[in-house]
Amino acid sequence: MTTNRRPPPLAFLCLVSVLCLLSSPSLASSAKRHYVVYLGGHNHGGSSATEADLQAVTDSHHDLLATHLGDMEKAKNAIRYSYTRHINGFTAVLDAEEAARIAKHPGVVSVFPDRMKKLHTTNSWDFMLLNKEIEIPSGKIWKAARFGENVIIGNLDSGVWPESKSFNDKGYGPIPAKWKGLCENNTKIGRKLIGSRLYNKGFIEDGSTADPADLYNPRDMDGHGSHTLSTAGGNFVPGVDILSAAGGVAKGGAPRARVAAYKVCFVVEDGTSCADSDILAGFDAAIADGVDVLSVSLGSEDFADYSYLADGLAIGSFHAVRSGVVVVASAGNSGPVQGTVANFAPWIVTVGASTTDRNIDVHVELGNGDRLKGTALFQKPLPDHKQYKLASAADVKLPNATAEDAILCLPGTLDPTKAQGKILACLRGKTARVDKSRQAKNAGAIGVILCNDEASGIELVDDIHYVPTSHVVYKDGVKVFRYINGTKNPTAYIAPPVTTYGNKPAPSLAAFSSRGPNVVTPQILKPDVAAPGVNILAAYTMAGDDESRKYPYQLESGTSMACPHVAGVAALVKAVHPDWSPSAVHSAIMTTARTRGNTGDKMNDLNEHESSSFGYGAGHIRPNRAIKPGLVYEVAAHEYLELLCSIGYNSSDMGELLEKGYKCPKKVKSVFDHNYPSFSVPNLGSGPVTFKRRVKNVGPPGVYAAEVKEPYGVAVKVVPDVLKFDKYGEEKSFKVMVAAKWKGAAKGYEFGGLTWTDGDHYVRSPIFVTDNLVIDQSNKIVGTY
Residue count (the chain):
785
Distance CA 157, CA 224 (A): 7
Query: In whole angstroms, what is the distance from residue 714 CA to residue 712 CA?
Result: 6
Backbone φ and ψ for 295, nearest 5 degrees, come out as -105, 125
At 557, phi and psi to the nearest 5? -130, 150
Q: How far apart, in whole angstroms, are the C-alpha atoms of residue 567 and residue 232?
A: 6
**Would residue 307 show up in a list of annotated catalytic residues for this protein?**
no
- Catalytic-role residue among 86, 114, 157, 513: 157
Own/partner long-range contacts of 547-553 (Cβ < 8 Å, ≥24 apart): 548/379, 549/464, 551/242, 551/243, 551/464, 552/164, 552/165, 553/240, 553/241, 553/242, 553/250
* Angle formed at CA 708 by CA 706 and CA 712, multiple of 5 degrees: 165
* Half-sphere exposure in the Cβ direction for 87 (13 Å, CA): 32
End-to-end alpha carbon distance in the chain? 11
Dmax (CA) of the chain: 82
Catalytic annotation present for 560: yes
- Answer positive or negative: Cα dihedral of 321, 218, 243, 457: negative
Q: Quote the distance between the C-alpha of residue 550 and its chain's center.
A: 26
Q: In 532-656, which ranges are continuous DSSP H helix?
A: 559-576, 582-591, 613-616, 623-626, 637-646, 651-654
Environment class of residue 623 by beta-carbon count within 10 Å: exposed (0-12), middle (13-18) or buried (19+)? buried
Distance CA 506, CA 604 (A): 8
**Which of 224, 577, 620, 674 is labelled catalytic?**
224
**Chain centroid to CA 184: how far?**
26
Cis peptide, bond prior to residue 255, ω within 30 of zero: no
CA distance readout (Å), 292 to 85, 287, 582, 624 = 16, 8, 9, 20
Q: What is the DSSP letter of 336?
A: T
User: What distance in Å separates the CA atoms of residue 515 and residue 414, rounded to the nearest whole number?
Assistant: 36
CA separation for the pair 532, 530 (Å, rounded): 7
CA distance 731 to 725: 8
Q: Is the peptide bond before 552 cis (omega within 30 degrees of 0)?
A: no
Catalytic residue among 164, 295, 508, 560: 560
Is residue 346 a contact partner of residue 329, using CB atoms and an 8 Å limit? no
385 is catalytic: no
* Distance separating alpha carbons of residues 532 and 557, to the nearest angstrom: 9
Residue numbers annotated as active site: 157, 224, 560
